[in-house]
A and B are shown apart, each in its own frame.
Chain A
Amino acid sequence: MTRNPDIINSIRPLIPVAVTFAAPFLIRLMAKKENRREAVSFVFASIAFLAVVSMAPGILEGKIYTYTLFRILPGITLSFCADGLSMVFALISSFLWILTTSYNIGYMRTLKEHAQTRYYICFGIAVFGAQGVAFAGNIFTLYLFYEIITLFTYPLVAHYQSKDAFEAGKKYLVYLLGTSKLFFLPAMILTYVLCGTLDFQLGDIHKGIFPSDANPVLLIVIYILFLAGLTKTAIMPLHSWLPSAMVAPTPVSGLLHAVAVVKAGAFSVCRIMLSCFGLDSLHDLGLGMPTAYVAGFTIIAAALIALTKDDIKARIAYSTVSHLSYIVMGVAMLTQGGVEGGVSAIAHDAFPKITLFFAAGCIMVVTGSKKISLMNGLGRRMPWTFGAFALATLSFIGLAPASGFLSKFYLITGATDAGQTVLMLVILASVLLNMAYFGPIVIRGFFMPPVKSVDLSQYAEAPKTMVVPMFMIAIISILIGFYPQTFVSFVEVYGKFWR
């Protein structure tokens, strides 16, 4: 392999990872002093975000930063890289952690939750894992941080320590750890044996790391093993862990299960497909369309199931399953528009999605209930909450200039470029389904009279620490459309798509 002159050895990718690594320790130290403990989260989240942003100018010029920490075996190192794809995920996970900390404070303190220190520590480590996944420079590092996320979100899922919580936690581990050991690990080993290295192919998404004379059947097997092993992407049929994990506190569902954890899975799929296999070999092996169809099926089936759920978090969970497959479907189209749409959807869908979960959390904190059928008229008492929910819904149905419109624009462009009418129909049908399952929540909240068994006069708007960050994110998701290049520019640099 010739040396790519754009690849620069620099410690920069390590900094956000190191910062988020240090945060949990400090949180532990400050266990008794609550305000200082929360301040640690804020401060370190901000530092991490700034560290990520500082790399942006260089990366937008085309540079790729790499750094190797140490070597374990020949060809297996713990190394980091920062390119366009990393930035998309790292930016949202670090930025949204800042706002989620405020939401966390409001949520945990209002409900007077137990074990708050453990909660914040695990939260911090989960974000550390997300940053590590974003900046992973080879498959081994990716795997390491991927598993760190799984292990340290388990205490968050089982936080309430009730029978249901432990059941859900058990399912969570069985699914995520089981599949990663059964599928991802063998795939990684097979790749190492085939290629002699686990490093990603940086700088060119068309070429991969596999030798050109590799047995195609073996490559297909490795591909399927990778996809099955990355269960965090919640592609059907390996999606059931996500609705069950909704038993966790809502900020966990918001940042982690809508942004950090699941997007880590989707990001890893993008990374494997684009930096490990490469567009050319995926095209030659004919793997693009089958993957896209499986993802398309997930989009529609999950949306249809969401229509039947009365629990608001379950409904949002199934819609998360549905929206995650946008990313996989986009990349699997193997066209410029598809890759742009799929990868930028990691960021574009994160903002409205986390808004929805935060709104559900506000409703839970105020009313103690999650049933949609009892929410009639609640919007009059909680206008900001339901207003944010409405804004997020509008984003998902593609109202310009919201972020959802941008991801639909690129995805449909990609589908038409690939000549795939069915995939385009899938995306359009999902727009209608989005309105069908989120619309009624907004309509019930604002325009229907209250249900007889519910007394609404006891409810008021949720605490400001929760409402302010939620509404800020809702506004961002609408306004991103005015600056569409925010995330798309990174994708264009990554794929070297010059318009």
Chain B
Amino acid sequence: MNLIEGSFLHPATLFVILGLILPFLRGGIWRVLLFIPPVVAIFLTLQLHLGRYWEVDYVGQVLVLGRVDALSLPFTILFAFMSLICTTFSFHVRDKAQHVAALFFMAGAFGSVLAGDYWTLYIFWQGMTVSSSFLIWLNRRPDASKTGFLYMMILLLSSVLLLAGILLRERVLGNFLFSSADADFMWHFDWLILGAFAINAAVIPLHAWMTQGLPKATIPGAVLLSIFGIKTAVYAMARCFVGLDLLIILGVCTALYGAAYAIFSNNIRRILAYLLVAQVGLMVAGIGMDSKMALDGAIALAYAHTFYMALLLMAMGSVMYATREELLGRLGNLSRKLPFVAALTLIGIFALCAVPFFSGFTGVSLIFEEALKLQSPIPGVFLVLVLALAMTLIILGGLRLPFFLFWSSAETKEPLRPLHRNMVVAMGMAGAFCLVQGIFPEVLNHHLPYPLEEPSLTLFKLAVGFLFPAAGILLFMVLRPLLRPGTNELPDFERVYGLIGRGIMVVFSKPLSWVDAIWSEIYRTVFLRAFYFMARISDFFDRRGIDGAVNQTAASVMFLSRISTRLQSGRLQDQLAWMMLLALAVFALIWFW
């Protein structure tokens, strides 16, 4: 069935509709409905033509909801396929709330990637923030609640920075078009927007939300978190900040940091979270290199990474589900009990380690090649060495996980829960994708924005490509005793965030509250007392002063009248004499005055 030429249906539409009506559906069949949005999305995205669709007027701005071009199309297709895999993996979950959160999260990702203007991006970005936080909270454990709160606060910071950047940008540039910034001349709002994207891409030091949050999410939720949020941020960076030198440095540092922590982490999902952060660091570095091939490399890596990281998280989630345990130190020797999972994990890890004929190879090799050609800010050779170090650490961390999980001699508690069939099917799908992408790189390459200059699997590349992981395996074998798993975790930046939060309370909130409490009583202790005091004075004045004056007047009148009484002698001649004297005095007064 061919859609009408030029028409467009946003892939997020069905996700949103299903998310809204799902809480109100009864009966058992609602789980089948979950497959409709992903399947339709795959169908729609494979038919997309380049162009701008769905332009909407809102509060005086024009929102562009469907901008399909060479950069957004590969991500849209990627998300469509991943939505199907994730839905399959979470099919066994009966808690509707998790599905609703997942649906809105996926819708948000589609919306962000297809956004043609910043407002649309902001709206969907916020939607992703809220819905992904629920994926952690719905794990319904006290530690998950606290982690989810930290997660949401940091992602909210990213939304806030984005909002500030958008509005400041409009004041300077006069529009809200979601287009690239000039890497050589960054405005202040560009830095704000970069900050927002960097937070969501888990660039250090703002990565702790991912490394803390992913292990605490629900089992299907963690898979979703690794895909939609992070890759949207990578897309946004690729859209806006190609060629920014700072990104190379940030990316390399992130890769080193993430890989180092992965080697020493002991929670099977946190190891993957750190490896994810490390690989995103490689992608960010690739975006920062000012070349088309490096961008291709970053996107190829993003593509492959999505599939194998999802596969690994599903595998680890299955292990967690089966063994009810998530610490590496308490697990081991699982290859006999979970052979399928073990095999798929190996496929994923090899892809992660960029072994040739596994999917990660194309992207990583492109990034290394382009790094070699760089002149500034870091000379190419030095950059390649640092990247090689990062890659080595990634391989070490990556190999450690399956080795100690599946083939070490440690024992795991006996009865394992059987895995749901949908989980196995989903893992199989992801594994198949990884293998196909590895063996036939063209499947992946023709989605890339710029056509590749040379084929992916030349002999030279294969040689170097095999040498590297081989050396890595050797190194791992040598260092094996040092890398034994335990059960504790290294502290990371989340301690810093916690300190900031507590610091605000102690330095600002508590003193302000104390002052406010005192001020709140001042009306009573000062003003009311002053009123009472004034009232007492008035009373005093009234009684002594006024009444006193009245009494005194009465007393004086009585005194005067007593004197006058004495003056009355009763004899007429005396009274006549007084009268004459008084009259004379009065006349004299009038005469001489």
| Interface residues of A, Cβ cutoff 8 Å to B | 171, 174-175, 178, 237, 240, 243-244, 301, 304-305, 307-309, 394, 397-401, 406, 408-409, 412-413, 416-417, 424-425, 428, 431-432, 435-436, 439-440, 443-444, 446-449, 484, 488, 499
A308's contact among B123, B509, B520, B523, by CB below 8 Å, is which? B509
Task: Looking at the assembled complex, report how far the CB atom of A335 sits from the nearest CB atom of chain B, in whole angstroms.
Answer: 11
B493 interface residue, CB < 8 Å from A? Answer: no
Within 8 A of A (CB), among B126-169: 126-127, 130, 137-138, 140, 142, 144-145, 148-149, 152-153, 156-157, 159-161, 163-164, 167-168
Q: Is chain A's binding surface mostly helix, strand, loop or mixed? A: helix
B171 interface residue, CB < 8 Å from A? Answer: yes
Residues of A within 8 A of B516 (CB): 240, 301, 305
| Smallest CB gap from A439: residue in B | B149
| Smallest CB gap from A390: residue in B | B130
| Smallest CB gap from B528: residue in A | A174
Given A174-B523, A439-B152; A416-B142 close (CB under 8 Å): no
B535 interface residue, CB < 8 Å from A? Answer: no
Distance A447 CA – B152 CA, assembled complex (angstroms): 14
Within 8 A of A (CB), among B162-219: 163-164, 167-168, 170-171
Given A308-B505, A412-B167; A428-B127 close (CB under 8 Å): no
Given A305-B513, A308-B509, A448-B145; A399-B127 close (CB under 8 Å): yes
Whether B149 contacts A171 by the Cβ 8 Å rule is no
Distance A397 CA – B122 CA, assembled complex (angstroms): 13
B460 interface residue, CB < 8 Å from A? Answer: no
Name 5 A/B residue pairs within 8 A (Cβ), A-sorted: A171-B523, A307-B505, A416-B171, A432-B156, A443-B148
Residues of A within 8 A of B142 (CB): 448-449
Distance A416 CA – B168 CA, assembled complex (angstroms): 6
| Smallest CB gap from B510: residue in A | A308
Given A175-B523, A308-B505, A412-B164; A432-B157 close (CB under 8 Å): yes
Whether B145 contacts A240 by the Cβ 8 Å rule is no
Whether B171 contacts A417 by the Cβ 8 Å rule is yes
Residues of A within 8 A of B127 (CB): 399-400
Whether B523 contacts A304 by the Cβ 8 Å rule is no
Distance A484 CA – B119 CA, assembled complex (angstroms): 15
Whether B524 contacts A432 by the Cβ 8 Å rule is no
Residues of A within 8 A of B157 (CB): 432
A416's contact among B60, B167, B509, B513, by CB below 8 Å, is which? B167
- Which 7 pairs of residues, A with B, have the shortest CB-CB distance? A240-B520, A400-B123, A308-B513, A304-B509, A447-B137, A447-B145, A428-B160
Whether A240 contacts B144 by the Cβ 8 Å rule is no
Whether A304 contacts B60 by the Cβ 8 Å rule is no
Task: Looking at the assembled complex, report how far the CB atom of A153 sits from the nearest CB atom of chain B, in whole angstroms.
Answer: 18
Residues of B within 8 A of A424 (CB): 164, 167-168
Residues of B within 8 A of A449 (CB): 140, 142
Task: Looking at the assembled complex, report how far the CB atom of A6 sits from the nearest CB atom of chain B, in whole angstroms.
Answer: 24
Whether B138 contacts A447 by the Cβ 8 Å rule is yes
| Interface residues of B, Cβ cutoff 8 Å to A | 58-60, 122-123, 126-127, 130, 137-138, 140, 142, 144-145, 148-149, 152-153, 156-157, 159-161, 163-164, 167-168, 170-171, 501, 504-505, 508-510, 512-513, 516, 519-520, 523-524, 527-528
A399's contact among B60, B126, B140, B510, by CB below 8 Å, is which? B126
Residues of B within 8 A of A237 (CB): 519
Given A171-B523, A400-B126; A406-B160 close (CB under 8 Å): no
Whether B122 contacts A400 by the Cβ 8 Å rule is yes
Given contacts A178-B527, A447-B138, list 13 more A-B pairs with CB under 8 A.
A174-B527, A240-B516, A304-B504, A305-B513, A398-B159, A398-B163, A406-B59, A416-B167, A416-B171, A431-B156, A443-B145, A448-B142, A449-B140
Task: Looking at the assembled complex, report how far the CB atom of B20 sits from the nearest CB atom of chain A, in whole angstroms.
Answer: 12
Given A399-B126, A399-B127; A484-B167 close (CB under 8 Å): no
Distance A406 CA – B508 CA, assembled complex (angstroms): 29
Residues of A within 8 A of B123 (CB): 400-401
B153's contact among A401, A406, A436, by CB below 8 Å, is which? A436
Whether B523 contacts A307 by the Cβ 8 Å rule is no
Whether A399 contacts B171 by the Cβ 8 Å rule is no
Whether A243 contacts B520 by the Cβ 8 Å rule is yes
Whether B160 contacts A431 by the Cβ 8 Å rule is yes
Residues of B within 8 A of A304 (CB): 504, 508-509, 512-513
B58's contact among A244, A425, A435, A484, by CB below 8 Å, is which? A484
Residues of A within 8 A of B524 (CB): 171
Task: Looking at the assembled complex, report how far the CB atom of B341 sits from the nearest CB atom of chain A, in whole angstroms.
Answer: 30
Task: Looking at the assembled complex, report how far the CB atom of A397 sits from the nearest CB atom of chain B, in whole angstroms.
Answer: 6
Residues of A within 8 A of B505 (CB): 307-308
Whether B156 contacts A307 by the Cβ 8 Å rule is no
Whether B519 contacts A499 by the Cβ 8 Å rule is no
Given A304-B504, A305-B509; A413-B167 close (CB under 8 Å): yes
Whether A432 contacts B153 by the Cβ 8 Å rule is yes
Distance A240 CA – B501 CA, assembled complex (angstroms): 26
Distance A488 CA – B59 CA, assembled complex (angstroms): 10
Task: Looking at the assembled complex, report how far the CB atom of A112 sits from the nearest CB atom of chain B, in whole angstroms.
Answer: 32
Distance A417 CA – B126 CA, assembled complex (angstroms): 24
Distance A239 CA – B152 CA, assembled complex (angstroms): 31
Whether A484 contacts B509 by the Cβ 8 Å rule is no
Distance A245 CA – B509 CA, assembled complex (angstroms): 22
Residues of B within 8 A of A412 (CB): 163-164, 167
A401, A417, A448 interface centre (most CB from chain B within 10 Å): A448
